[in-house]
């Protein structure tokens, strides 16, 4: 699996680093899993909402099996962050194109609003940070108040720390519960399972995903 966590100026750091660490830990046991922090366009660094400087190792490109979209800055309409990216439109357009070509799109916190701006959440079950629930409904999503919601080729997580549960669910969905539980144990994290799973069996899987 070729997985990417896309970052941008104003991104919430834990939204991005939480699922990244989960997937990076899982990759030690899964040779075919590769995860990296990427940006939409080439850049040396991005600065998160709390001032942490991140250095993307590449760009989003035109082919990814899984894309994780963090949030940050949506609720206060910050000039850099999820709201700014949704308004600008370049990242939503790229996500829509990648989704059209088979990428599974996952979001953490208000990253869901970037995914919504891509037109991918209309009439889909989804969640986001509790302060953005009304915005998510207004975007046409079917709000589920849950930690993680799996709707097949779209997987969303609630606020900030739920990105860890998102990452663990992705690991379980592709490589089984034993590995996900092992990663959670190593990270000393108590898992919260998805409250809504509506995908058909096999939906959204990549060619590298084993049948379970």
Per the CB < 8 A criterion, the answer to whether 81 and 45 are in contact is no
Q: Which residues sit opposite 122 in a β-bridge?
A: none
209 DSSP 8-state letter = P
- Three-state helix/strand/coil letters over 3-72: EEEECCCCCCHHHHHHHHHHHHHHHCCCCCCEEEEEECCCCCCEECCCCCEECCCEECCCCCCEEEECCC
Measured in whole angstroms, the distance separating CA 97 from the mean position of its chain's CA atoms is: 16
Q: Which of 109, 113, 148, 157 is catalytic?
A: 109
**169 among known catalytic residues:** no
Alpha-carbon torsion 83, 85, 87, 89, what sign? negative
138 DSSP 8-state letter = H
Per the CB < 8 A criterion, the answer to whether 142 and 125 are in contact is yes
* Residues assigned a catalytic role: 109
């Amino acid at each position: 699996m070729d997985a990417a966590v896309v970052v941008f100026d104003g991104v919430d750091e834990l939204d991005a680093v939480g699922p990244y660490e989960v997937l990076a830990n899982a990759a030690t046991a899964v040779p075919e899993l590769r995860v990296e922090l990427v940006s939409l366009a080439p850049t040396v660094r991005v600065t998160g909402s709390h001032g942490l400087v991140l250095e993307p190792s590449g760009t989003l490109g035109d082919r990814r099996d899984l894309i994780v979209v963090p949030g940050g800055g949506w609720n206060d309409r910050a000039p850099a962050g999820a709201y700014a990216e949704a308004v600008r439109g370049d990242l939503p357009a790229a996500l829509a194109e990648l989704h059209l070509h088979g990428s599974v799109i996952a979001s953490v916190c208000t990253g869901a609003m970037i995914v919504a701006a891509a037109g991918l959440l209309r009439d889909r079950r989804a969640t986001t940070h509790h302060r953005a629930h009304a915005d998510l409904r207004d975007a046409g999503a079917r709000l589920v108040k849950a930690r993680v919601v799996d709707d097949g080729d779209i997987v969303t997580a609630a606020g900030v720390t739920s990105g860890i549960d998102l990452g663990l669910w992705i690991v379980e969905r592709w490589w089984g519960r034993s590995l996900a539980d092992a990663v959670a144990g190593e990270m000393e994290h108590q898992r919260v399972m998805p409250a809504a799973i509506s995908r058909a069996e096999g939906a959204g899987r990549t060619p590298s995903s084993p049948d379970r």
